[in-house]
Amino acid sequence: MRIAVIGLGKAGLPLAAVAADSGLQVLGVDLDPARVEKINSGKNPIPEEPELEALIKKHVGQNLVASTRYEDASACEAFIVIVPLFIDEQHKPDFSILEKAFKSVAAVMKPGSLIVLETTVPPGTTEARVKQWLDASGKNFKLAYSPERIMTGYSVSRYREFPKVVGGVDKESGLAAVKLYKHFCKAVRLVSNARTAELIKVAEGIYRDGNIAIANELFKVSNKIGVDFYEVRRFANHQFCHIHKPGSVGGHCIPVYPWFLINEQDVPLIRHAREFNDQMIEYYADMLEQKIGTGGKVLVVGITFREGVKELAYTRGIPMIKLLQQRGYDVFVYDPMYTEEEIKALNFKYSKTFNSMKGIVMMNYYPELKDTLLTLKQRIVDVKGVFNDFAAD
Ligand SMILES: NC(=O)c1ccc[n+]([C@@H]2O[C@H](COP(=O)([O-])OP(=O)(O)OC[C@H]3O[C@@H](n4cnc5c(N)ncnc54)[C@H](O)[C@@H]3O)[C@@H](O)[C@H]2O)c1
């Protein structure tokens, strides 16, 4: 069977590689020529995803071929689309990337093809927008939604181990998508329809955002009444209680997906959790002021949205830096994923001299920093809760 994967990014490329490894012939389409060239020369463009290297080397030029041209996918029987959906400053989704990708698919697909969307989207998107974009081609097609559930760094194993949820716009589409995913996913679960599958993915993100908001509120209360939050969490969590860790929430998943409902539905609790988590940087800035007073040199450690992933999408690191600057601190940045030149190119001051700083805000943690951090504990705002982890080691 020949399939096309549209978008060879952090989500699409692991999918394409796992599908190729199952014996499917995979044509990956991506608009970025440098990325396509790298893949076709057997190199892994996502260093954070170590398992990919071997799969690309094994299948490139055979079961896995990348191209910038949609025409090369015209012989495919199925198309899996996984290009990004961003939200703007007002938190409204911008569908233009998806629209362009689907219209390109519509132009080359054979009648009767199966089209599946994997990008996380507001519930209803597949049945309304995507169907309309494809309908304009005048061809018949099967259409389904199946959320990816990867996490960069673990994507290959997640495709193989996590249950794959699938929902069709009609019964035939759902069954065709199940048949496709059975080639390379361990367990495939057909749900009632595409919008159910869409809400399943959005619900996961909302659950985590709400859970972190509860953790953040309990963290504040614990600090206020002189209780160790992490001790509370350790003993509260059991069969019926799963309190997450407190912290700031960044990245292109958890801070984005709640808006897909907030924009269109009456969901005050979900909205409050989202806004509450975004405001946590203010609380950490207050903690810093309590520790070190006003003014002076402060080092923000970690600029990416999560440790180990070199990406600034919806990171809270940058708003934190700006907030501390507004409050009058002389802010320096250190992130082991970025060189001094790269930090300076972002218009921030670089430093890795931890002990010359009056205060340190730990947005991300890297194990090689442990010894340094232990000697400077009194001046650190521990956003990641690492001192608790050290104590438990
Ligand atoms: N990366 C993750 O950990 C993760 C986690 C959860 C969900 N996701 C989902 O995956 C989606 C994609 O994210 P990603 O991390 O892979 O993004 P990414 O930025 O890493 O990659 C997107 C790729 O799509 C390509 N592209 C853009 N427009 C295209 C078009 N019209 N045709 C072909 N290719 C096109 C880009 O060149 C890029 O290589 C997200 O919107 C999200 O729903 C990703």
Q: How many angstroms is it from 67 CA to the middle of ligand 1? A: 16
**Ligand 1 pocket: which of 252, 260, 311, 315 to mutate (most atoms within 8 A of CB):** 252
pLDDT tens for each residue of 16-65? 999 999 999 999 999 999 999 999 999 999 988 888 999 999 999 999 99
Alpha helices in the chain (DSSP H): 12-21, 33-40, 52-59, 96-108, 131-135, 155-161, 171-181, 194-225, 229-236, 257-262, 268-278, 280-292, 317-326, 340-345, 370-375, 386-392
For the chain, which domains are there? 2-192 (3.40.50.720), 194-278 (1.10.1040), 280-393 (3.40.50.720)
Q: How many angstroms is it from 294 CA to the middle of ligand 1? A: 41
How many Å apart are CA 301 and CA 335, to the nearest integer? Answer: 6
Looking at residue 186, its pLDDT comes to 85
Q: How many angstroms is it from 254 CA to the middle of ligand 1? A: 16
* Phi-psi group of 84: left, alpha or beta (phi > 0 → left; psi -120 to 50 → alpha; rest → beta): beta
Ligand 1, pocket residues at CB < 6 Å: 6-12, 29-32, 35, 82-85, 97, 100-101, 104, 119-120, 148, 150-152, 253
How many Å apart are CA 152 and CA 295, to the nearest integer? Answer: 37
Looking at residue 66, its pLDDT comes to 98
Planar angle of CA 372, 301, 247, nearest 5 degrees:
105
pLDDT tens for each residue of 250-306? 998 999 999 999 999 999 999 999 999 999 999 999 999 999 999 999 999 999 999
How many Å apart are CA 334 and CA 340, to the nearest integer? Answer: 8
Q: List, in sequence order, every residue forming a beta bridge with 6; answer none if it has no partner.
A: 29, 81
What is the rounded average pLDDT for all residues in the chain?
A: 95
Task: Specify the DSSP class assigned to residue 266.
Answer: -
Looking at residue 50, its pLDDT comes to 84
Which is higher by pLDDT, 168 or 163? 168
Which positions ≥6 away from 327 have C-beta within 8 Å?
285, 289, 294
Q: Which atom of ligand 1 is nearest to the CA of 100?
A: 31
Cβ–Cβ under 8 Å, residues 361 and 299: yes
Please identify which of the residues 43, 253, 358, 377 carries the catalytic annotation: 253
Task: Specify the DSSP class assigned to residue 74.
Answer: T
Tell me the CA end-to-end span of the chain in Å, nearest whole number.
49
C-beta pairs of 135-138 under 8 Å, 24+ apart in sequence: 136/103, 136/106, 137/106, 137/107, 137/109
pLDDT tens for each residue of 330-340? 999 999 999 99
